[in-house]
C-alpha cells in the first residue's frame, strides 16, 4: 500500500522515543479476523465499527458485522451496562457469521474491557485506552487494581495507548473545547486498527468530508486524529506485526454492505415495483425494527407512503386500509408490537387482503431484551391468534436473505390474498454483510390483478389458488362490503350459518396449506441421508452453516437443512427429515421448531436451546455435533 506521510499535519509528540527510520513491521497474511470495538454508548463505537466494515468490504473481503448496544441511549459513562460494542468479522473466504471469538479487542474504558475480554482469544490483541483507566472508571467497572498493570492480562498481547491524550494533543492548537476534542478519540482508535490491518483510511476521510460539510473545524479535527492514529503504529513501533487479509473470491459484480432491516426496506420497494402497486407502510417505532420505517420514509421519490402510526394497532390497521384501497400494505414491528397487532392480523385473514407483516424479533417476553436477539416468536406467528386463523410464515436467514424473503412474502400475499408474516430478528436485522446488488430486471414479476368487470362479481368467489378477487374502491359497479364477521361463501354477506362457517374455516386453511405447492423444496447441504441433520430456521443459519462446514471438513458425516418457509413447510420436509437418524435443532428459544416438527411429521428431534440474547457460536454447535456423533445408537 502506498503511504504518503506528508499528509500528517503535525509532528506527533506521543511515545516517539523508540522511533527509528528503518523500522518496518512484518506484514503477516491471515485468512480470517474478528475485531470488536467496545466503549461507552456515547463513544461512537457503532460509527467506528461501521466505518471499518465499509472500508474492508470495499476492499473485497467477505464480512459479517454485529452491533451490540444497550437499551439505554446514553447510559452513565464508565458503567458496565453502558458498554456498546460493534463486532466485525472479515475474511478472504466465504463466511457466514460475525465471528465466534475475537482476534482483536479495542477497549475504550475499563467497563468495555471487563464486559468483553472473555470473548478475546488467547494470544489475541487488546488495544486499551489507558487514559480512561482512572480510579473512578476502574471502580465503576468493578476492578480493584488496574488490569493493564496487575499482570492479569498476560495471556493477551496488550497495547496500552493513551488514546484520549494523543487525540487532544494532535488538535490542541485548534481551540476546540476539551469535550469536543475528546469526542474525536474513536477515530484515533480506528486509525490504529486501519494501520494494523493494512487498510487505507481513505473511505473514512471521504465520509468525514461529507458528514461535516458545514463544520470545517470538525473535518480538520477528525481528519488529523484519524491520521495520527494511523501513523501511531509506524512512529511508535509498538506493534511488531501488521496483518493483511486478502480479498475473498466473490463472483464479479457490484457489491455493497447491507443490514437485514435495509434489505427489508429495499425488498418492499422491489415488490411494489414488480407488482405495479403503491407501497404503504404503517408502523410504530420499536427496537430493533424502527430502521425499516426510517429507510422507507426516505423513499418518497419512489412513491413510497409511510405512516408513522400512533400505536402498533394503528400501524397494522392503516396498512390493512391501504390494502383494501388497492395498495401493497405492510407493517413492521418486533415482538411486543406483534402481540398488539394480533387482532388486526385476524381481520386481514378473514377479509382476505394482502398484507406483509415483518417481525424483527427480540428477547421476550414482554419488553424483554429490546436490543438483544432471540427467535422465540415462531409459535406466536403460526398459532398466536383467536380462532382458526392461518397465516403463511416465512423466515429470513441472513441480512441479505431479508431482501429475497420479503419479496417472496409480498408475492405470496398478493397471489393468495392473505397476510404473510416474515420473521427476522435483531441479529440479522441490524447485522450486515456484503450483498451482490440485485437489479430490478433480475427479479420475477409479481402479478397483481384487480377485478374490474361487474359481470357475475362475487366478493368471495375464488380462483384456482382459492384467492378471492381484489377490487379497488372507485371501480364502478363492484361496490361491495367486507368485514370481520364470518362471510357467506362466495357472496361475502354476513352469515351465522354453522355449515357455512365450517366450510369457510376449511377454505381459509386449505388456501394457506396449498402454498406448499408454490415454494421451493427444502435443500440439504451435505449428504441427503445419514446419521445427523442439523435443522435450523432464521438467523441461526450462519452459525449452523459454519459449524457443519467445519465438521464436514474434518470428515464428519453431518448435513444441514434450513427452513425458510415455516408455515406451510416445503412439501419434501418430512421426507428430508426421515432420511436422518438424528435431527439436531439449534434455536434461540426453548425448542419451538422441535415442537412443530413433532406435530407435523411425528418426528422426534433434539432441541439445542440458547436463549441468552446472543447468537449461537459456530463452535457451540460443533461441540454438540461432535457429542451426538460420538454416542452410539
Partner 1 sequence: MSEVKNNNTLEKVNTTEYTSKDFASDQDVRWCSGCGDYSVLAQVQRTLPNLGIKKEDLVFVAGIGCSSRFPYYMDTYGYHTIHGRANTIASGIKVANPELSVWVSTGDGDCLSIGGNHFLHTLRRNIDINIILFNNQIYGLTKGQYSPTSFHGQISKSSPLGTVEYPVNPVSLALGAEGTFIAKSIDRDPKHLMEMIKRTYLHKGTSFLEVLQNCNIFNDGAFALYTDKETKEDNVLYIEHNKPLVFGKNMSKGIKLDGWKAVVVDISNGKYSVDDLLVYDEKNKELAFLLSEFSENPALPMPVGVFLDIERATYEGELEDQIANAKKNADDLSVDNLFKGTSSWEIK
**By CB under 8 A, what part of segment 329-358 binds partner 1?**
329, 343-344, 346-347, 351
Distance CA 506, CA 503 (A): 5
Instruction: Single out the segment in contact with partner 1 by CB under 8 A; choices: 91-99, 135-143, 476-484, 620-628.
Output: 476-484
Nearest to 567 by CA among 382, 299, 357: 382
Minimum gap (Å) between residue 296 Cβ and partner 1: 11
The DSSP letter of residue 619 is H
In the region spanning residues 480 to 509, those forming contacts with partner 1, defined by CB under 8 A, are 480-485, 493-494
Nearer to partner 1, 301 or 632 (CB): 301
Instruction: Single out the segment in contact with partner 1 by CB under 8 A; choices: 225-233, 306-314, 360-368, 501-509.
Output: 306-314
Please answer whether residues 162 and 132 qualify as being in contact, where contact means their C-beta atoms are separated by less than 8 angstroms. no
Nearer to partner 1, 64 or 326 (CB): 326
Binder of partner 1 out of 73, 254, 553, 602 (CB under 8 A)? 254
**DSSP secondary structure string for all residues of 164-229:** HHHHHHHTGGGT--HHHHHTTHHHHHHHHHHHHTT--THHHHHHHHHHTTT-HHHHHHHHHHHHHH
Q: Is 430 in the site for partner 1 (CB under 8 A)?
A: no
Tell me the sheet residues that pair with 328. Answer: 279
Nearer to partner 1, 475 or 529 (CB): 475
Q: Is 201 in the site for partner 1 (CB under 8 A)?
A: no
Q: Is 478 in the site for partner 1 (CB under 8 A)?
A: yes
Instruction: Single out the segment in contact with partner 1 by CB under 8 A; choices: 23-31, 99-107, 160-168, 433-441.
Output: 433-441
Q: Is 270 in the site for partner 1 (CB under 8 A)?
A: yes
Instruction: Single out the segment in contact with partner 1 by CB under 8 A; choices: 218-226, 318-326, 569-577, 590-598.
Output: 318-326
Cell numbers given for 265: 426496506
Distance CA 411, CA 405 (A): 10
Neighbours of 496 (CB within 10 A): 9
In the region spanning residues 438 to 457, those forming contacts with partner 1, defined by CB under 8 A, are 438-440
First to last CA, the chain: 56
Q: Cis bond leading into 365, ω under 30°? A: yes
Nearer to partner 1, 70 or 329 (CB): 329
> Cell numbers 474491557 label which residue?
113
Minimum gap (Å) between residue 612 Cβ and partner 1: 33
> Cell numbers 392461518 label which residue?
390
Q: Is 402 in the site for partner 1 (CB under 8 A)?
A: no
Cα distances (angstroms) measured from residue 13 to each of 7, 168, 199, 314, 525: 16, 11, 24, 59, 56
In the region spanning residues 43 to 62, those forming contacts with partner 1, defined by CB under 8 A, are 54, 57-58, 60
Q: Is 311 in the site for partner 1 (CB under 8 A)?
A: yes
Nearest to 448 by CA among 277, 319, 192: 277
Nearer to partner 1, 156 or 207 (CB): 207
Nearer to partner 1, 221 or 316 (CB): 316
Distance CA 214, CA 220 (A): 12
Instruction: Single out the segment in contact with partner 1 by CB under 8 A; choices: 114-122, 141-149, 471-479, 593-601.
Output: 471-479
Amino acid at each position: 500500500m502506498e503511504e504518503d506521510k506528508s499528509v500528517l499535519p503535525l509532528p506527533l509528540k506521543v511515545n516517539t522515543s523508540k522511533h527509528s527510520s528503518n523500522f518496518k513491521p512484518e506484514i503477516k497474511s491471515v485468512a480470517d479476523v474478528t475485531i470488536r470495538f467496545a466503549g461507552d454508548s456515547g463513544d461512537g463505537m457503532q460509527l467506528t465499527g461501521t466505518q471499518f466494515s465499509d472500508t474492508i468490504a470495499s476492499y473485497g473481503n467477505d464480512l459479517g458485522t454485529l452491533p451490540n448496544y444497550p437499551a439505554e441511549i446514553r447510559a452513565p459513562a464508565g458503567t458496565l451496562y453502558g458498554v456498546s460494542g460493534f463486532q466485525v468479522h472479515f475474511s478472504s473466504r466465504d463466511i457466514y457469521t460475525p465471528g465466534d471469538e475475537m482476534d482483536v479487542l479495542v477497549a475504550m474504558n475499563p467497563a468495555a474491557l471487563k464486559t468483553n475480554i472473555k470473548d478475546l482469544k488467547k494470544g489475541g490483541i487488546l488495544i486499551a485506552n489507558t487514559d480512561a483507566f482512572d480510579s473512578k472508571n476502574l471502580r465503576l467497572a468493578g476492578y480493584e487494581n488496574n488490569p493493564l498493570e496487575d499482570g492479569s492480562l498476560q495471556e493477551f498481547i496488550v497495547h496500552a495507548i493513551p488514546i484520549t491524550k494523543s487525540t487532544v494533543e494532535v488538535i490542541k492548537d485548534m481551540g476546540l473545547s476539551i469535550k469536543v476534542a475528546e469526542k474525536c478519540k474513536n477515530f484515533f482508535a480506528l486509525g490504529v486498527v486501519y494501520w494494523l490491518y493494512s487498510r487505507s483510511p481513505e473511505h473514512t476521510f471521504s465520509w468525514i468530508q461529507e458528514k461535516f460539510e458545514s463544520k470545517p473545524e470538525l473535518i480538520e479535527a477528525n481528519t488529523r486524529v484519524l491520521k495520527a492514529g494511523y501513523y501511531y503504529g509506524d512512529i511508535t513501533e509498538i506493534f511488531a506485526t501488521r496483518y493483511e487479509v486478502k480479498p475473498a473470491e466473490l463472483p464479479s459484480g457490484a457489491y455493497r454492505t447491507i443490514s437485514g432491516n435495509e434489505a427489508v426496506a429495499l425488498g418492499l420497494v422491489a415488490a411494489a415495483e414488480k407488482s405495479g402497486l403503491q407501497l404503504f407502510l404503517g408502523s410504530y417505532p420499536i427496537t430493533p425494527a424502527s430502521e425499516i420505517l426510517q429507510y422507507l420514509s426516505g423513499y418518497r421519490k419512489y412513491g413510497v407512503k409511510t405512516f408513522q402510526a400512533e400505536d402498533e394497532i394503528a400501524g397494522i390497521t392503516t396498512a390493512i386500509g391501504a390494502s383494501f384501497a388497492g395498495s401493497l400494505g405492510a407493517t413492521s414491528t418486533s415482538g411486543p408490537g406483534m402481540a398488539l397487532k394480533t387482532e388486526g392480523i385476524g381481520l386481514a385473514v378473514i377479509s382476505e387482503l394482502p398484507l406483509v407483516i415483518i417481525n424483527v424479533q427480540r428477547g421476550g417476553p414482554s419488553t424483554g431484551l429490546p436490543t438483544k436477539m432471540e427467535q422465540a416468536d415462531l409459535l406466536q406467528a403460526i398459532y398466536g391468534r383467536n380462532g382458526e386463523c392461518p397465516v403463511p410464515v416465512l423466515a429470513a436467514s441472513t441480512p441479505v436473505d431479508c431482501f429475497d424473503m420479503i419479496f417472496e412474502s409480498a408475492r405470496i400475499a398478493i397471489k393468495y390474498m392473505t397476510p404473510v408474516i416474515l420473521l427476522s430478528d435483531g441479529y440479522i436485522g441490524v447485522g450486515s454483510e456484503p450483498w451482490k446488488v440485485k437489479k430490478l430486471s433480475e427479479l420475477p414479476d409479481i402479478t397483481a390483478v384487480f377485478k374490474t368487470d361487474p359481470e357475475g362479481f362475487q366478493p368471495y368467489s375464488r380462483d384456482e389458488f382459492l384467492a378471492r378477487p381484489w377490487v379497488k374502491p372507485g371501480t364502478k359497479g363492484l361496490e361491495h362490503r367486507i368485514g370481520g364477521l364470518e362471510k357467506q361463501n362466495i357472496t361475502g354477506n354476513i352469515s351465522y350459518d354453522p355449515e357455512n362457517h365450517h366450510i369457510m374455516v376449511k377454505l381459509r386453511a386449505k388456501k394457506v396449506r396449498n402454498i406448499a405447492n408454490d415454494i421451493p423444496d427444502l435443500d440439504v447441504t451435505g449428504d441427503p441421508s445419514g446419521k445427523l441433520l442439523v435443522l435450523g430456521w432464521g438467523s441461526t443459519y450462519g452459525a449452523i452453516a459454519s459449524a457443519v462446514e467445519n465438521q464436514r471438513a474434518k470428515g464428519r458425516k453431518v448435513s444441514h437443512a434450513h427452513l425458510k418457509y415455516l408455515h406451510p413447510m416445503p412439501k419434501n420436509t418430512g421426507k428430508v427429515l426421515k432420511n436422518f437418524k438424528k435431527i439436531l435443532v439449534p434455536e434461540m428459544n426453548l425448542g419451538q421448531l422441535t415442537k412443530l416438527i413433532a406435530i407435523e411429521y411425528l418426528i422426534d428431534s433434539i432441541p439445542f436451546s440458547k436463549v441468552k440474547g446472543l447468537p449461537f457460536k459456530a463452535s457451540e454447535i460443533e461441540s454438540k455435533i461432535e457429542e451426538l456423533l460420538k454416542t452410539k445408537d
